[in-house]
Amino acid sequence: MSSEIVISCDGVGKAFQLYLRRNDQLKQAILGRWGKYYHEHWVLKDISLAIRQGERVGVIGRNGAGKTTLLQIICGITRPTHGAIKVDGRVAPILALGAGFDHELTGRENALIGGAILGMRRSEVERRLDAIADFAGIGDFFHQPLKMYSTGMAARLAFAVCAHADADILIIDEALSVGDAEFGAKCEAFIENFAKRGTILVVSHELELLASICDRVVWIDDGVLREIGPPRQVIASYRESVEGKPRIARAANQ
């Protein structure tokens, strides 16, 4: 593991605008200079962390804690409301699979689009098209419009593009679902191999998996970074928070 920092978050916060009435968004667009017609919902609050080159970091927390939003900010899918984010290296974001794909275009054409989104030159993607098609394992559908694909087939194609992006940083959201067990095993083998040469940031509720593969774990609770450190230590704190109160309540009722 290198001492070089490849992902840096400094006081990162993210708020979404919530509109209570139908025409409030229009009012904001027209009259926003003089007033605010929305409520701010803070999903992330002053997150600061640094991830080193070659490090494997897990992110845990309850549903709605802000985990996926953090990944989206790091990937550049959305911008923080405040704070600074710096990423050094090419990122392969295995989340929001297929974002940017055009359902009227073929799998081949969408592979070219996906590669461009990941920062690859067209010539790079074209050289890898056969390998991408083979990894996706969708046969002749690779040359058919995406509108003919099942959800799993589209996810296979998107994962295959990410797997051939020569990325430095792999970012994985547990929401990923890529179909059958055979393809899932292929993806797991790719991730395991990538861990030997690159940096990985992964969100998951599979706590034992994170404990076995990660160097550190980040716990986010209600948009706040509660703890970061050795996997077993942070996971124990998280489990105590999640499971402790119900256990106390059951004991009190006995």
Each residue's pLDDT, cut to its tens digit, for the chain (254 residues) gives 667 999 999 999 999 888 888 888 888 788 778 888 777 889 999 999 999 999 999 999 999 899 989 999 998 889 999 999 999 988 888 766 666 688 999 999 999 988 888 888 999 999 999 999 999 999 999 999 999 998 788 888 988 998 898 889 988 886 555 556 778 778 778 877 888 888 999 888 889 888 988 999 999 999 999 999 999 999 999 999 988 754 433 333 43
248 by Cβ neighbours in 10 Å (0-12 / 13-18 / 19+) ranks as exposed
Residue in 10, 58, 104 with CA at minimum distance from that of residue 209 = 58
Residue in 173, 146, 152, 191 with CA at minimum distance from that of residue 59 = 173
- pLDDT at position 155 is 82
Q: Looking at residue 218, what DSSP letter applies?
A: E
Q: Looking at residue 106, what DSSP letter applies?
A: B
How many Å apart are CA 142 and CA 107, to the nearest integer?
5
Greatest CA separation for the chain: 68
3-state secondary structure of 158: helix
- pLDDT at position 245 is 52
3-state secondary structure of 120: coil
- pLDDT at position 154 is 86
Q: To which H or E segment does residue 232 belong? A: helix 231-253
How many Å apart are CA 59 and CA 201, to the nearest integer?
7
Residue in 164, 174, 155 with CA at minimum distance from that of residue 90 = 164
In order of their start, the domains of the chain are 1-89+209-254 (3.40.50.300)
